[in-house]
Structure 1
Amino acid sequence: MILNYLRLITLIILFIYYQNSYAQVIADGLPGCLAIEDSAGTSCGGGTTFFGINGLGQFEVNNIDGEFCCSGSGGDGSGYFEFEEIDISCFQDIMISMNYSASSTNYEDDFPTAPQFGCTGTGTDNSHDQIVFMYIIDGGVEVQSLYVHGTTQGNFTGTWNEGPLNGNTLTIKVYAANKASAEKFYFDNLVIEASASSVSAGDDFTYCGDGPINLDGDGDG
């Protein structure tokens, strides 16, 4: 009798753990339904350049010096793309992941300790390469999550992970600057997940939008 009782308690604990640890995808992009709402970037030194969605569905940054060019040479390093704001008020413990990669070439790392934005008036305006992942909660200030820099393809290849985050709205913004025709950054496979609440919403689904949705689930609340 006691053994059966202990088994029942163990099953209940495992069930609660599973429910609390289970995560569902609430939005995705590149590819997916979460659109890029805003972007700005320019090439200041000539040569091959690209800034936008490529044929593979990735956001590609190629020879983009910044949002604006500097008076001497190069750019301010502030080129960016930003996803549309999403409502996260019905979810908790938001987790973000997105892959980034780069072409095989040499890169420049003039500012190894922190990102550089703006014109310096020196040769670094035309050399420093960087990626900076940001997020914004509830329309507030940009929060720096990950600064990517270095001199090799491997330094600019990985997965950005952030969370858990909580709030009412979430915006994701990525700054990216590389300053030569051979230098390319690629971004894809954005996934935004949320921990399940105490009320089941039914099977997994991906939702992007502002309109009402019907959930096939049950619970009290």
Structure 2
Amino acid sequence: MTSSKAPTKVLAAVSAAAVLSLTACSGGTTGYDFTEPVTEPTQSIGFRIPDELLELSEDYAQDRVYESITVTAVESEDPSQCAVEYQFEYVEGGLDRFLAYIEETADRGDSTMEERIANFLTGEPSSTELSEDYTSAMVPVTCAVSPNDTENTVHVVFTQMIEDEPQTFARAEIAVMQGNELFVHEPETNGWQLDSNGNWIPAE
């Protein structure tokens, strides 16, 4: 899977041992802010960076692209596969920042503009179906064989633009079972970690 440019700092795992199980289906979207595990069953999860971390990381707060990213398990056109729908909520100026980067790097490689945008948003340049305003995307994915399957995943990446280059601030991998069950693996934040009291502190 292709992803945005790797961060300059080592990503710190928020919960290295935990696999956050979002089993079964429900009608609403469950929020996740890289702090507490999601315990309620759901087929849709809305990721966001917590306010406390935004206050501590002023550079990210200023240069970020997204306010939130929602991933929902949906029916695939191919019954042998699974699929997810992304919904992107951009901060003010976030969409313009990343589109400017796409245009400025048009001479890198032989991919099309749509492929570069898809790669930035989902990491899947060839299989992503984008909306015209880039606020949503559909991505097919091989169904996970178990909740612990880390091979067949899609991902969520919260990006900031540093000197007009994308850097990863937080990310998580998501496995999708055929019954529209979501499982989140290895949520990570760049340069920050939670202490035993639930406070954000710099990662060592």
* TM-score above 0.5: no
Provide the TM-score with structure 1 as the length reference: 0.32
Question: Looking at CA atoms only, which structure, 1 or 2, has the larger radius of gyration?
Answer: 1
